[in-house]
Amino acid sequence: MTCGRRKSGFTEPRALVALGVAVAAPAAFVLVEAGAAHPMVPLEMFRDRTVVNPVIGLPMMIASMVALTALPATAGHEPEGE
């Protein structure tokens, strides 16, 4: 995928910063919630399998859809018609 004359990819600084934020933000949230006297989200809720399965499954489904649509473009394969 190109943006102007520049190629963009997963090793671009913007993508790496976004990945770092995507990993650090939930970890920071869990640490803050674990130490809070009155947490917004009680962490005991995640012991229930009916809550954990969708919480893990939805991001996995979104990641697979992104992989099917975005990765071929970043690998140099352009969609038909372009």
Backbone angles phi, psi at 79, to 5 degrees: -65, 155
**Which residues of the chain carry a pLDDT beneath 70?**
1-8, 72-82
CA distance 16 to 19: 5
pTM: 0.56
DSSP SS3 for 1: coil
In this structure, which amino acid lies at residue 29?
A: F
Predicted confidence (pLDDT) per residue in 22-40, tens digit? 999 989 999 999 999 999 9
